[in-house]
Structure 1
C-alpha cells in the first residue's frame, strides 16, 4: 500500500459528495438520527460535555472526516488510530439495565457510521447535487473504507442504498426517544453557544441573522429525517413534509453557494490531495 497516496481519489463519489458545503447539513441531520439509539445516546450523554463545549466535538469530527477523505493513507490511518484508542477507553451504563458497555461495540460503531454517511448523501442529493442511483451505491461501497478504519469489518457495513434501507429496518425496533434523546434534540434545535474566536465577533455569530439561519438549518435537518424518525420524535407527518424539506435544502444550498467566498469552498487538504494526484 502506498502510504503517500490517499484512500479516496479525486474521481471518487466520496469527493463529489463532500465537495459541496451543503454536506454539513447532513452532519446535523445525523446527530438527530444517532440520538434515537438508546445505547448510543447514553454513551454521548455520559462521555461528552456537548452542552458546555459543542464546538470541540464538532471540530474534531470534521477534522477526522477531512483527513480520511483528503489526507494521505498514513495520515488517515494515524487519525483513525487515535479515534479507536479514544473509543476503547470509554464506557457507558445502559439506563434501563445498568449494564456497562464499551463505546466501540461494533453495533454502536456501525450505527454511527451508517447514520453519518446516509445523512451526508441524503442532504446532498435532496439539496440538488446530481447523483445517480449507481453513484449513491458506489458512495456507500467507498465509505466501507472509513468504516474499516474505525474498527468495523467492511463486510458487516451496508454497501448500497438497498442495504442501508434494510439495515434501518433491522435496527428500528431498538430505537426510541429517550430522555437523553429529547435533551440532545432540544439542544440541537437551539442556537449554539459562541464558537471559538475573537470575542468581538461572538454576538454577531450567535444572535440576529446568524441565529435565524441556524434555526432554519435545524428545521431543515429535522425535515430531511426519514418519516419514521420524525415520528419517534413526535412530529406529525404531513403530506408535503418531504417536499418542503427538499425545497428548503435546495434554497439553503443556493444561499451558501452565492454567499460563501470561493476561497472558503476549497479546503487546503483537498488542494494538497489534488496536487498529489496530479503528480502520481
Structure 2
C-alpha cells in the first residue's frame, strides 16, 4: 500500500517527531482505541445510517476497518503529500455515502459537519483514553493541551470546524454532555456496535478472535451510560480482571517493530503504514507544515462547508 521511499519524502507532515500525535497514534493501544471509536460512531444516527447503507463492515470487515485505521495513522505520521492524498480519497468516499436517515426521514450525508466532529472527537479521545489506561500512563495537562491542539490541525482535513474541537479534558467532557441528548441506539446501531465488538458473519477467524479479545478492554474504557444504552455493559470484575492483562500485553509490544508485527494479522495496511513510518528518514524539507499549505501544493478542495 505504501512506497517506503515516498511515505515521508517531502516534509514531516502536520505534526513531526516531537509531537504527541506521533507517540500516541503509533502506540500498541491504538488498535484498542480504534475498536472503541468505531463502536462509538454508532451513537450518531447519521453515521449509523451511512455505515448500514454502505455495508462495508459487513461485506469485507477486515479490509474496511483496516483501511480506516491506516488512514488515521497516515494523517498522523506521513508527509503532507501522502496525508492530503489519503484525505481527498476518504472524503470522496464519504461524499457517496448519502441516503435517508430512517429515524427522521431526512436526507443524510456522511460528510455532515456535526457527524464528522463526532468521528473526530471520539477517535482522538479514544486514542488518548486507551493510551492512558493501558499504556505508559496519564499525560500531563500540558501534553493533553498539545494533543488536542494537534487534533485541531488534523480536523482541517474534514468538514468539521477545527474551532469546535475541545482544547482540554474539561472541554471534552463538556462536548460529550452537550451532544448526549442527540445520541441514540437504533436496531441498526445495536447490530453495528455488537458486530464490531464481537465480529462474526463475513469476518475471518483472525478478526473474530481479535475483536472478542479486545472487546472487554474496550468496554472497560467507556462510561456506564454508554455501556448500558449500547447493551454491552459488563461487570466491574471483568473490567478489573482485564486491565492488568492488557497492560502486560501492551508492554510486551511496546517496541515499534514488535507492535508493527503484532498488528499485522488484524490490520495489514496499518502495519504497512507503521513500517513506512519507522523506515522513513529525514524528508527533503525537514519541516512541519499546515494542512492549508499541503492542500495548496497537493490538493485543491476546501471541504469545510455545510453538507447534508
Measured against the shorter chain, the TM-score band is 0.7 to 0.9
Task: After TM superposition, give the deviation of residue 245 of structure 1 in Å.
Answer: 5.3
Alignment partners' CA distance in 1, 2:56 and 2:241: 34
1:137 paired to 2:137: no
Query: Is the 8 Å Cα contact of residues 50 and 57 (structure 1) preserved in structure 2?
Result: yes
Give CA-to-partner distance per residue, 1:171-196, whole Å, 9 cap, x none.
1111122101210122123245677x
Q: For residues 177 and 132 of structure 1, do their structure 2 counterparts lie closer, same or farther at Cα, with a shift above 3 Å needed? A: same
Query: Is the 8 Å Cα contact of residues 57 and 65 (structure 2) preserved in structure 1?
Result: no
Q: For residues 256 and 92 of structure 1, do their structure 2 counterparts lie closer, same or farther at Cα, with a shift above 3 Å needed? A: farther
Q: In the alignment, which residue of structure 1 is the partner of 2:67?
A: 60
Over aligned residues, Cα RMSD in angstroms?
2.9
Deviates more, 1:239-248 or 1:120-129: 239-248
* Deviating 4+ runs (over 6 angstroms): none
Task: After TM superposition, give the deviation of residue 20 of structure 1 in Å.
Answer: 1.5
Q: In the alignment, which residue of structure 2 is the partner of 1:175?
A: 183
Number of matched residues? Answer: 267
TM value normalised by structure 2? 0.76
Q: In the alignment, which residue of structure 1 is the partner of 2:27?
A: 20
Which sections of structure 2, spanning at least 5 residues, go unmatched? 1-8, 263-270, 288-308
Deviates more, 1:11-20 or 1:246-255: 246-255
Alignment partners' CA distance in 2, 1:169 and 1:137: 20
Query: Is the 8 Å Cα contact of residues 34 and 111 (structure 1) preserved in structure 2?
Result: yes
Give CA-to-partner distance per residue, 1:174-228, whole Å, 9 cap, x none.
1122101210122123245677xxxxxx76x368xxx2x5422112111211222
Query: Is the 8 Å Cα contact of residues 10 and 285 (structure 2) preserved in structure 1?
Result: no
Task: After TM superposition, give the deviation of residue 23 of structure 1 in Å.
Answer: 1.3
Task: After TM superposition, give the deviation of residue 241 of structure 1 in Å.
Answer: 6.5
